[in-house]
Amino acid sequence: MLRIGYLLLILTLFGCKTEEPEFKYSSNYVEGLELSEKLDRPIFLYFTAYGSRLLSTSEFNETFLKSRKVRKILKEDYITIQLITDDKTPVEINDTLNLNIAELNAIDEKVNARIRTIRNKGQVNNLIQISFFKSNSQPLYVIMDAERNLLTEGFGYTSKNKSFFYGRLKSGLEAYRRKKNID
């Protein structure tokens, strides 16, 4: 009986791994923009897909969010928005994240026709990525302010290079702070 007690004590002290609280991010583009403005933080916008062959959502979590430095800067200094371009969650046209249709039409004349065919969140997210960032590949990482001004050039697959990724986050934050001091 004493052995079982010691075994349980050892497992409790050494065998249990404490988990960090799950990383939180917005999956709504418009809400993320509003939160960025309210909290005066830059935005880290992350386009991904469940079916991405390069870096899926779970790989992003496993690769980059395991880094304490990356997790800390994203939690404390950024508003993180994750948009999944193959999300099959149904939406109605009048519930497409409150996108300003006139603004989208000014960007691309074909947008109006595309909006009429939208049936799920993934299609909305894909429309945002193509219309605003002229890209249709995932992953795409964008660092910007609440007015959608890019703070660094968008970037994609980074070969799971945590130091490069962290460096981009730092340079985006520095650009945001410089811009705020000028404005």
Any idea what the CATH number is for the domain that residue 77 is in?
3.40.30.10
In the chain, the number of structural domains is: 1
Per the structure, the complete domain to which residue 148 belongs is given by 20-182
Is 54 among the domain residues? yes
pLDDT tens, N- to C-terminus, the chain (183 residues): 455 444 443 434 444 444 444 567 788 999 999 999 999 999 999 998 887 655 555 666 677 777 889 889 999 999 999 999 999 998 876 544 555 555 555 555 666 666 667 889 999 899 899 888 988 888 899 999 999 999 999 888 776 788 888 999 999 999 999 998 876
CA distance 134 to 156: 13
| Beta carbons of 136 and 108 less than 8 angstroms apart | no
- HSE (CB half, 13 Å, CA atoms) of 102? 0
Torsion on CA atoms 140, 142, 146, 148, rounded to nearest 10:
-80
Per-residue tokens: 181: 């001091």
pTM greater than the 0.85 cutoff: no
Is 8 among the domain residues? no
Is 6 among the domain residues? no
Is 63 among the domain residues? yes
Supply the pLDDT for residue 66. 78
Is 27 among the domain residues? yes
Is it true that the peptide bond before 139 is cis, omega within 30 degrees of 0?
Answer: yes
Is 7 among the domain residues? no
Is 10 among the domain residues? no
